[in-house]
Amino acid sequence: MSPLESRSSSRHPRPLRALRLVLVACAALGAPAAGCGSGGAQGSGGAAAEIASIDARLRGTFRLVRFDPEMPLEPMLASMLEFQYAHLVIRFDGQRILADSPGLHVDRAYEIREPAWNRFKLISYDEAGVAYEAVCEFSGEKELIVYAQTPPWKGVATLRRAQ
């Protein structure tokens, strides 16, 4: 698994690291299981088919359009997050999630678990191996709602499929 990389300056490492963690939670990045997006397929054949279906729907490019944190963000972090709305591009390719914007690059594996029609769980692991969980829900054909569940980055993100 690739470590989290940042092309940003190290002048403000704590706020940038915090922003990366927020965005990682929004994007529900990464997991170590079978090394692919459908790594949760170790269950029954029905669950494997549901995971494959969700994985197919998830593949593609999204943009972050909204993030509502459970706890208010400090002003500097909030303004950095605002910048990401116009710039952050998140791509799910079936094995990895790539999130890019000026000053930010994230590349991690992901795993789909607990499929239930339009809802599923994504597990992510940061560079230190800390797990982040998110419950995701497709909202129509163009939006993915992400309920990030791991403190300190609990909140709800909306991702919209890019054209």
Tens of pLDDT, residue by residue, the chain (163 residues): 433 333 333 344 455 444 554 555 454 433 323 334 444 444 567 889 999 999 999 999 999 999 999 998 889 888 888 889 889 999 999 888 889 998 889 888 889 999 998 999 998 777 777 777 899 999 998 999 999 987 766 899 999 999 7
pLDDT value of residue 74: 87
Q: Rounded CA gap, 88 and 126, in Å? A: 19
pLDDT value of residue 46: 82
Quick check: is 145 in a domain? yes
Q: Which two tokens stand for residue 24?
A: 């990682």
CATH number where 22 lies: 2.40.128
Quick check: is 8 in a domain? no
Quick check: is 70 in a domain? yes
Cis bond before residue 152 (omega within 30° of 0): yes
Enter the DSSP assignment of 5. B
Enter the DSSP assignment of 9. -
Q: What total of structural domains would you count in the chain?
A: 1
pLDDT value of residue 20: 53
Query: 61: domain range?
Result: 14-161
Quick check: is 117 in a domain? yes
User: Are the CB atoms for 104 and 8 separated by under 8 Å?
Assistant: yes
Quick check: is 39 in a domain? yes
Quick check: is 131 in a domain? yes
Beta bridge partners of 33: none
Which pTM was predicted? Answer: 0.74
Query: At 25, phi and psi to the nearest 5?
Result: -60, -40
Quick check: is 4 in a domain? no
